[in-house]
Structure 1
Amino acid sequence: MRPAHAALLLVAAALLGACQTAPSAPSATAENQKPVRIALVGDSTQTERQGYGTGFCANLVERVTCLNTAKGGSSTKTFRNEGLWNRAVQLKPDWMLIQFGHNDVQTGTRGVRETDLVTEYTPNLRRYVEEARAAGIQPILVTPIARRYFQPDGKIRDDLPAHVEAMKAVAAEMKVPLIDLHTISQDFFEKLGETEAHKLGPTKSDGKGGIVPDKTHFNLEGSHVLGRMVVEAMGRAVPELAPLVRKTPAAR
């Protein structure tokens, strides 16, 4: 593991507090050795190529089958309309981490992606929870990861507050475990600072011949840092899943 990568993981652990120690090794009982299937359901920030999916799956113990069904550009509307939700359910995971928001606020897409907060986004989340449970799947809601939109004062401009609160409300109403990744990641990025936080992502063209940071997605190092963060947060949100977290961060 590169020194910079190790240092970032130490910062994340210090910031989150609850990650001070890795979960203790499970006893060698039949229940603790039972295979578990966990699926990621969401947009590009969960995928293997642009999101934390690679790092998330790498930080689970071997008895976990990690199923990444996330797709770039997905919103709560398009993930269903494109048949992705049905495919995810048919994989029959034991647990599902459901994360949407970035594309639900994506304007200018001719009504394809964006959703109304009250009449679509919130009901869509409820429906996902209901249908997952009906299929014998246990859902976990994950608030959308923060974008790295730094302001001059070093704080991040939050572009998703209403959707974050809506998801929290659905989780409370339906008694669904919640990972508040939005708050966790925003606090982490601000602690790192703009320069270091942007090192966790790729670059892209600014359309004028220049190169600028991609403030939404992640490179391989970012995937491992954020993936580890999500796995540990999952173990705190659902204590019975804590033994599924690798004792030490996975190497790149």
Structure 2
Amino acid sequence: MKPNLRLSVAAMIAVSMIGCANNAPTVSGAAPTATGAKLSGVTLSGVVAAGQEKFTVTAYDAAGVRKSVSSDAKGRYSLSADGLVAPLMLVAESGRIQYVSLVAAPAGKATANVNALTDFVASAVAQDAKLPGPVALVQAAKAPAVTAEQLKAKAVELQPLVGAALKEAGASSAASFDPVVGDAGDLLKYVRHNRGYLSSKGVLGETSLFDSNYHPISTQSPLSLTHARTEAQAIAATGVTRVFVAGDSTASNYDVDVTPRMGWGQIFARQFKDAKQVQVVNVAQSGRSSRSFITEGWFDMIEADIRKGDYLLVQFGHNDEKCGEEPARPAPARDIIDIVNLCTYPGAAAGVPAEMSFQKTLEKYIAIAKKAGATPVLITPVTRRSFKGGKIGGTTHTWGKGKVPGDYSQTIRDTAKANNVALVDLDAKSMAFFNSVGEQASLDYYLAVDPAKYPYYTTQTGSRSKPDNTHFQEKGAETVGKLVADGLKEAGLPIANQLK
């Protein structure tokens, strides 16, 4: 990774990825902006992100004309908008990092910041235009037709998420904060941002905001600046061992609206004796494969932050298996989308492209850990609740329909051995555990809850009558975390001394 792409924990600025789109969007309900009058005497200036890195800032006007400048090392830029036609779209980029900001009608010397919060507003504009998110706006290569009133209305949607934190940061006019022109204080240092993935379309979607430890910032879980500062300091503290978790939905964090669904990484910190000495940084994301976790930028976030003495726990497989039929089925089947975005092939079959090899992809995680002086640990995917005749008879992570059939868990075992790194065989451990518990009792671990207590699951998979046989409720997440901890102890790793 190039040095200018590295992001420190203290910076708390996330990575996002450029996606695909086609035609220029028009915001629903917006009157088209006049394209006859060009701006004159207008200069845009502001700060990109938290003001701690150099970016290229490009202004796109309503006709697709663009101008670019480079910011300084603290993200400060100034750009003449003379000759451009409002509204304008500002796109700040450094490697895979991308922020979007929309300006409806600038005049004179105009402030135009570009950061995670302006990206959230741009995402809301894109959603109104029936577009997946900011990446679609950027790929359109021209500013969307949007008014100042619409942007103001979208900025208001930030209030339930960060309104209280803005007050803590001392932001002026926190109740009516406009991230394009407003000063958010140090809040932006503690907000990570990325774009969601629309699995049905295979494209990046709306902007998601996260706190220092990748917990979603939402109306149910608004940002507390005090907590974010404390957590960031704890994660970055000298002498602290950080345990990074890279994985999928079985390990990821979940917001309170889907309670009691939990990933094992979400509560893995419970396995350690002293939270001050060990910090779990759970970067696992729902729906990701080992490959899409890289292409969407999550991998880069870990690479930027991981340091000597840390651990990187890598658990993929559930989504790597999504390789479609061969030949691919026609729409609406997701075969092509899955192959292009998620699929990796197990084993070491000749002819598999390097980017599609599960082993070679896993070796990228091993490489960044070793380069940083950290310890990589490969983990086989947790078993699915697939009982037949009262038993889970074998691994639920094989693929036999495509041109490259194989066993994903075995590939992980082979990769760990070939690279001389630690292995936690969670597939085998979880199969043994749930077989000992039994089919009926296993419902208390997997996501199979009473919808009378958790109304969200009245219409969603995860009820007692329609169980989710892949994901877990709290009891299951904690149990799986304990199995991972047991595996770390069995591997004889120094981190075992910190485990309960």
TM range (shorter): 0.7 to 0.9
Asked if structure 1 preserves the Cα contact closer than 8 Å seen for 2:385 and 2:392, the reply is no
Structure 2 distance, partners of 1:210, 1:243, is: 39
- Quote how far apart the aligned CAs of 1:237 are: 1.2
- Write the letter of the residue equivalent to 2:318: H
Q: Which has the higher contact order (CA 8 A, sep 6+)?
A: 1
Matched, 1:191 2:436: yes
In the alignment, what sits opposite 2:301? 87
Rg (Cα) greater in structure: 2
Asked if structure 1 preserves the Cα contact closer than 8 Å seen for 2:390 and 2:439, the reply is no
In the alignment, what sits opposite 1:105? 321
Higher-helix-fraction structure: 1
The alignment's TM-score, normalised by the length of structure 1, stands at 0.78
- Quote how far apart the aligned CAs of 1:122 are: 1.2
Gaps of 5+ in 2: 1-237, 255-261, 325-333, 399-406, 449-456
Moved more, 126-135 or 144-153: 126-135
Of the three residues 468, 477, 493, the one matched with 1:214 is: 468
Of the three residues 283, 307, 311, the one matched with 1:69 is: 283
Structure 1 distance, partners of 2:377, 2:492, is: 9
Asked if structure 2 preserves the Cα contact closer than 8 Å seen for 1:55 and 1:226, the reply is no
- Write the letter of the residue equivalent to 1:197: S
Q: Pairwise mapping of residues 1-252 of structure 1 onto structure 2 (< 5 A)?
A: 34-49=239-254, 50-62=262-274, 63-93=277-307, 94-106=310-322, 107=324, 108-109=334-335, 110=337, 111=339, 112-117=341-346, 118=348, 119=352, 120-156=357-393, 158-161=395-398, 162-203=407-448, 211-246=465-500
Asked if structure 1 preserves the Cα contact closer than 8 Å seen for 2:445 and 2:473, the reply is yes
Aligned residue for 1:175, secondary structure, equals coil
Aligned residue for 2:386, secondary structure, equals coil
Moved over 3 A (4+): 203-207
1:9-57 Cα deviation digits (max 9, x unpaired): xxxxxxxxxxxxxxxxxxxxxxxx9421111111011113332113321
- Quote how far apart the aligned CAs of 1:238 are: 3.1
Aligned residue for 2:469, secondary structure, equals coil
- Quote how far apart the aligned CAs of 1:157 are: 5.2
Q: Identity across aligned pairs (percent)?
A: 27
- Quote how far apart the aligned CAs of 1:87 are: 0.2
Structure 1 distance, partners of 2:297, 2:476, is: 29
Higher-strand-fraction structure: 2
What is the count of residue pairs matched by the alignment? 213
Asked if structure 1 preserves the Cα contact closer than 8 Å seen for 2:380 and 2:424, the reply is yes
- Write the letter of the residue equivalent to 2:315: Q
Structure 2 distance, partners of 1:48, 1:150, is: 27
Structure 2 distance, partners of 1:180, 1:158, is: 11
> Cα RMSD over matched residues?
2.2
- Quote how far apart the aligned CAs of 1:153 are: 4.0
Moved more, 103-112 or 212-221: 103-112
Aligned residue for 1:215, secondary structure, equals strand
- Quote how far apart the aligned CAs of 1:114 are: 1.5
- Write the letter of the residue equivalent to 2:475: E
